[in-house]
Amino acid sequence: MNKQSAKYGDFVLTALFAAIILIMAFTPIGFINLGLIKATIIHVPVIIGSIILGPKRGAVLGGIFGLTSFIINYMTPSILSFAFCPLIPVLGTTHGSPLALIVCFVPRILVGVVPYYVYRFVQKLFKQSPKGEYLSLLLGGVFGAITNTALVMGLIYLLFKEAYAAAKNIPVDMVASMVLGVVGTNGIPEAIVAGIVTVAVCKPLLKMRRKQNL
């Protein structure tokens, strides 16, 4: 396969993953409204795109993920939507905060970057093992999901701690334990699912791309 064909193939795959993200975002399967916050599985195609297409295209897909989060939180706000959309007033105020853009976009862009480097690093560590690729894909998926959940909740704690406490009707000094609880209850299942799906989808896609490059 020549370079022009490879670039065209990468463009097509990027468009395909972007379309999947948009479909998931604007149908019930992408965001799960838990009342306090919207749980999501949209990070999965971003993780897969990162590993298959590299960190640059992965970051673009992560940016699209962040944009869908912005739109969804504006169109159908939950009690914590002020942390994802600066057009939603922060709880206890009459205006939104531009800091919401950091929460909305930075973790999602990094979801498109971190899995690629985790995958490559683990590949190098276990390149002599026949199971090395399975492990590297599994950990790429797991760390991609953890990046999303941990950074989103961590940034909410750093930037919107008082508003989060008001939303939960708890003392401010209990916010840290609540955030850790969300990371545990949401983040662990999301990471397990992301790891399994990443292996299942990336393995055949990588095999196909290697054949095309021969």
Nearest to 24 by CA among 36, 10, 35, 38: 38
- Give the per-residue pLDDT at 190: 85
Domain that holds residue 75: 3-213
- Give the per-residue pLDDT at 130: 75
Q: In the chain, pLDDT over 70 holds for what percent of residues?
A: 91
Cα dihedral across residues 4, 9, 12, 18: positive or negative: negative
Q: How many domains are there within the chain? A: 1
- Give the SS3 label for residue 31: strand
Nearest to 78 by CA among 67, 88, 68: 88
CATH number at residue 162: 1.10.1760.20
CB distance 145 to 43 below 8 Å: yes
**pTM recorded for the entire structure:** 0.90
Mean pLDDT to the nearest integer, 101-118: 97
